[in-house]
Homo-oligomer: A and B are copies of this chain.
Amino acid sequence: MPELRKASVRSFSPCEACTVRHLSICDALDARELDRLNAIVTQNRIAPHQMIFNEDDPAAHLFNVIEGSVKIYKLLSDGRRQITGFLFPGDFLGIALHDRYTYSAEAVTAVRLCRFPRAKFEGLLREFPKLENRLLQTASNELAAAQDQMVLLGRKSATERVASFIVTLAARARQRRQPDKIVALPMSRADIGDYLGLTIETVSRTFTRLRKSGAIALPDNGHVEIVRRDKLEALAGIEDTEPRPAVRAL
């Protein structure tokens, strides 16, 4: 297990001031319930490229991303890697309720996390059906996103994959009230390749082609500017443009 630097002071009510609560599962709880969550949470900071947990580690904690970006991935025995998701502020990490993590999680940038001991968190789940329901909604959304990703990996061309990736990142940035015209690309080309089932070189060439076609611009390696959204969406195959429709409250 990596060493997790703990926040110097355990705040009495970090949730009160939480800037991403409206995006996260915590939003399902009222003030009293939030206090209970507060009582079991620890805030952590993780440096870029540091592991948060490894596949097959005992699943001791669940997390909420407060700040920064996280990648989750699986490895094959010969080192091939598939990144199965990127997480951003508000995203829940560790939803798979297995005894061991079924994937690895690593900080892409500097990251701030809320960390919940699993046993205690599951106690709260039992106590607050609202929270469990919210988690089910979240899992349901992730399942739908996973299916979209299967379409991408199984049936889309390199150009379609990269265009879809940019469009999806922009939609998620928009949800977080972050710029969706000049979109942050905190991850490396290698990460993008391992997420899209491509090599670094193909990702790079595809970015270049999209740039030359006028659909995007590349102000620097950490950003894409969407110059012609219509063109980009057409290249992407037009389907996952919008943030997923709201789940019906139960």
Q: So how many copies of this chain end up in the complex?
A: 2
Interface size for A (C-beta < 8 A) is 50
Contact of A142 among B122, B137, B143, B151 (CB under 8 A): B143
CB of A155 within 8 A of CB of B80, answer yes
**Is B150 a contact of A250 with CB atoms below 8 Å?**
no
Q: Tell whether, in the assembled complex, residue A97 and residue B136 are in contact, meaning their CB atoms are under 8 Å apart.
A: yes
Beta-carbon contact of A97 and B196 below 8 Å: no
Residue A42 at the chain B interface, CB threshold 8 Å: no
Quick check: is A14 within 8 A (CB to CB) of the other chain? no
A100 to B144: give the CA distance in the assembly, Å: 12
Q: Given the interface contacts A155-B76, A197-B154, does A132 sit within 8 Å of B140 by beta carbon?
A: no
Could you list 8 further interchain pairs (A-B, Cβ under 8 angstroms) beyond the known A98-B244, A102-B147? A74-B150, A82-B155, A84-B151, A96-B140, A122-B250, A129-B132, A136-B136, A155-B197
Which residues of chain A (72-115) have a CB below 8 Å from chain B?
74, 76-77, 80-82, 84, 95-100, 102-103
Determine if A248 is an interface residue (Cβ-Cβ < 8 Å): yes
Instruction: Find out whether the CB atom of B143 lies under 8 angstroms from the CB atom of A136.
Output: no
Binding site for B on A (CB under 8 A): 74, 76-77, 80-82, 84, 95-100, 102-103, 122, 125-126, 129, 132-133, 135-137, 139-140, 142-144, 146-151, 153-156, 194, 196-197, 237-239, 244-245, 247-248, 250
Evaluate contact between B84 and A150: CB separation under 8 angstroms.
Answer: yes
CA distance A245 to B137 in the complex (A): 23
A59 vs chain B, min Cβ distance (A): 9
Q: A100-B245, A135-B136 are in contact. Are A77 and B125 (CB under 8 A)?
A: no
